Copies of this chain bind each other. A is one copy, B any other.
Amino acid sequence: MNAPAELTPSAELPAYMEAVGRRARAAAAAVARASTAQKNAALAAIAASIRAASAAIVEVNRRDLERATAAGLAGPLLDRLRLTAAGVEKMAAGVEKVADLPDPIGEVTDLRPQPSGLRIGRMRVPLGVIGIIYESRPNVTIDAATLCLKSGNATILRGGSEAFDSNRLLAQQVSHGLRQAGLPGEAVQLVASTDRAAVGLLVSMPKYVDLIVPRGGRGLIERLAGESRVPMLKHLDGNCHVYVDAAADLAQAVDIAVNAKTYRLFVCGAMETLLVHQEVASVFLPQVAAELGARGIELRGCPATCALLPQARAAAEEDWFTEYLGPILAVRVVDSLDTAIAHIGHYGSHHTDAIVSRDHLAIERFLREVDSASVMVNAPTCFADGFEYGLGAEIGISTDKLHARGPVGLEGLTSRKYVVFGAGQLRR
């Protein structure tokens, strides 16, 4: 870490961020060139370094927690900030898991001869420099930095101010591990400023930063999207739907709907609206409502739902747009598959939506016509997750359509360039 021991004064911030960017760009070339063995050696050294510093990390984190408590930080935010010895060990083990992932860099695909005689294919390469902007969780420091490293990128980290000292000590372990493997410590830099202006500068340096990954709430992401001059991997709402078709296996539909809502109330793949075909509503809704009611889920329904379920209160228009992330579910009876698809298109957030049906044609149409990052058949939306998708890691879930869409693993931190192999062919 080249970061100074003290925070950077605001007046020096533009020059400081420029220097951070320049160092990152220079280090990126070295990391891009690094072999798989060298990157894995760095990851092993980082894990060892974190384990060796465990007591110090917990102690520095305790002081961060004290300051945050004194500053009036609330319970869940304090929980996210806290690092225990077990948490530090989990972090180190996570780094070793990243080392075990296959290296995406250098893979050549689609190599085909063309009429000119040239063989043309695509090689997977790093993006370059990735800026990570996150809130209070210090484990993101390790998580994000190691995924960027494995995918051959340099990283600039900007964590929450309340975790600053924890993040700094963690980032030092990363730089230490990098240097032990013969890679530049500056390949991972933590911004040595808690000034908000540093974020504004970071997202305005397309010369030095190739991608911004914000890890935080919708507020953070919308604010950044408004000012960023660098492409962003945006994760906005997960307003997810399960549509129970006329041809659904209703017992299966109950299980899927209950799991989609209650696996975890706070994950972005949690179901927020249940759509039910009118032909099965009178049988299905009382069954699913009983299960959901037993789990403390409040129902907000359309008029047809409320007529079937006395326990449901009337949904307002805004309910259909809402990602509750809590024990509330909107329920609507629809007259057709078309209405279900139109509802999802209009009110949804294009994150993850599922159909429960045994009707092949209905499934085909739902798959094709629902324009969401993940479209599921006979499975609960809560499966939307990079690990469940076999990506081995997850840097985020993208609700954008370009570049990466849905759960993003190492591949989303890479690009593909064309490689052209000739033997002296000329163009005429």
Contacts and interface: CB of A to CB of B under 8 A. Distances in A.
A200 B241 CA distance: 35
Identical chains in the assembly: 2
Contact of A114 (B345, B380, B388, B421): B388
A121 to B, nearest CB: 10
12 contacts: A32-B368, A32-B371, A114-B388, A125-B368, A231-B231, A372-B417, A376-B419, A376-B421, A382-B427, A389-B418, A405-B417, A406-B417
A114 B422 contact: no
Interface string A268-305: 00000000000000000000000000000000000000
A120 to B, nearest CB: 5
A403 B406 contact: no
Interface in A91-112: 106, 112
Contact of A375 (B231, B384, B418): B418
A417 B116 contact: no
A374 B128 contact: no
By size class, the interface of chain A is: 35 or more
A375 B106 contact: no
| Central interface residue in A125, A382, A405, A427, by most chain B CB within 10 Å | A427
Nearest to A420: B376
Nearest to A400: B231
A376 B419 CA distance: 6
A60 interface: no
B379 A118 contact: yes
A416 interface: yes
A100 B25 CA distance: 44
Contacts of A345: 29
A383 B428 CA distance: 10
